[in-house]
Structure 1
Amino acid sequence: MPILEDLKEYVERATGLRRPGKRKVSDLARARKPHAVRFKDDGLVPNHPRWPLIIYRGAFEFDERHDPAAVIEDLFEANGWGDTWRDGIYDYVHYHSRIHEVLGIARGKGRVRFGGKKGRIFTLKAGDVAVLPAGTGHQCLSADDDFLVVGAYPPAGTYDECTTIEDRPRALMPIPKVPPPRKDPVYGTSGPLSKLWKKAK
């Protein structure tokens, strides 16, 4: 699936077909209340010491004219979250210690555990968005065959992938130092993300 999606993305970007464009894409975002969840350090996965995972349910208004993955990409990129990719979510526990991540569901549904083995399981479906502060463990437990995720990252930070207990010592220090993003990946400067992450102690 990733190769086919990469080809679709290339054609869509080259032609503009089935893409709403960064100026019009905000019209396809639906106002949703954030669902915030904090996780403790579980011994393997540090999670973030202050900031919660944020989930927006049904954040996108998909229609027949646009490719859902392109809608998500254009909105994330319009709000300064780039390096987008299309794929699934790894089926093993992992986290990023030097960067935040956003996951937008373009198709299907999947059961994803956040926070590590002692975390919580959420069923994410098309239109949902999860915003993960650095350190948040995530793992796909099961998914539909057509489950498609668009991921992206804010400009500040460096991608890394931590999976083992040996990764912990080098991961603990950078996690709280990753700066908050300037914009919410879905709702921009007026979105609740920056308020929630700045207020959280």
Structure 2
Amino acid sequence: MGPKVKLALTPLSSLVVNRYFIPAHNLFPNTSIQNKPLLHYRHVFPRDTSSSKMESHLKAIRAVFPKSRWTMLPRTFFHATSHKVLCVSNGRARLLFGGDDNPGGVKVTAVKGDVLIVPAGVAQRMDKDLDAGFLMVIAFSRGYKDEKCYGVEGEEEKVRGIENVPWFKKDPIYGAEGPALEV
């Protein structure tokens, strides 16, 4: 194993972060249970950062574990047992959070180098791949499963469990400090 390559992340002092509190809608709890916002860190990673380097960075911070490289599903879903970190490694896409027809939902354009921190319970889906080839490194809270829920009856017990999903003790990208620790 070679020496670790330290990434030149956008400094916290100049990082642009959008915070979204999304109300419950239909059977999607969104941010209503833990009251932690969806966080969108803009242009965190340098544009030439590969998926492998993003995964290595996440592993070094040790707040989440990278599970896959994937796009986002076109069907609305959420996770009830884990918070999720999305590091955009290729392309750009419009993502919908909060559920279809939710007046408090948000559409976010995510581009290569962005990071989204999606709290447990927040509905999400691909709205449109703007470049054909959108790809993310997808990571989850350490020690928790990434089981999907779809906002249907029969998931109530899983939804109640969201209140017990611990928030991050370290910012998944910046470590000892960072926006995830300020919510």
TM-score of the two chains, using structure 1 as the length reference: 0.80
Is residue 76 of structure 1 aligned with residue 61 of structure 2?
no
Structure 2 residue aligned with 1:194 = 181
Is residue 59 of structure 1 aligned with residue 40 of structure 2?
no
Residue 132 of structure 2 is aligned with which of 129, 132, 145? Answer: 145
Relative distance call for 1:102 and 1:56 in structure 2 (3 A) is same
Structure 1 residue aligned with 2:121 = 135
- DSSP-derived class of the 1:175 partner: helix
Which structure 1 residue ranges, 4+ long, deviate > 3 Å from structure 2? none
In 2: Cα distance, 1:39 partner to 1:95 partner:
13
Structure 2 residue aligned with 1:41 = 24
Structure 1 residue aligned with 2:89 = 106
Structure having the larger proportion of residues in helix: 1
Relative distance call for 1:139 and 1:167 in structure 2 (3 A) is farther
1:195 CA drift (Å): 2.0
Structure having the larger proportion of residues in strand: 2
Contact 2:93 2:110 in 1 (8 A): yes
| Alpha-carbon displacement from aligned partner over 1:105-156 (angstroms, at most 9, x marks no partner) | 1111111001112111111110111001110111001102221111001214
Percent pairwise identity: 27
TM-score of the two chains, using structure 2 as the length reference: 0.87
Relative distance call for 1:46 and 1:153 in structure 2 (3 A) is same
In 2: Cα distance, 1:86 partner to 1:103 partner:
10
In structure 2, stretches of 5+ residues that fail to align are: none
1:83 CA drift (Å): 3.6
In 2: Cα distance, 1:167 partner to 1:135 partner:
15
1:60 CA drift (Å): 0.7
Equivalent pairs counted in the alignment come to 173
Contact 1:46 1:168 in 2 (8 A): no
In 1: Cα distance, 2:39 partner to 2:5 partner:
24
Amino acid at match of 2:111: K
In 1: Cα distance, 2:84 partner to 2:109 partner:
18
Q: CA RMSD in A?
A: 1.7
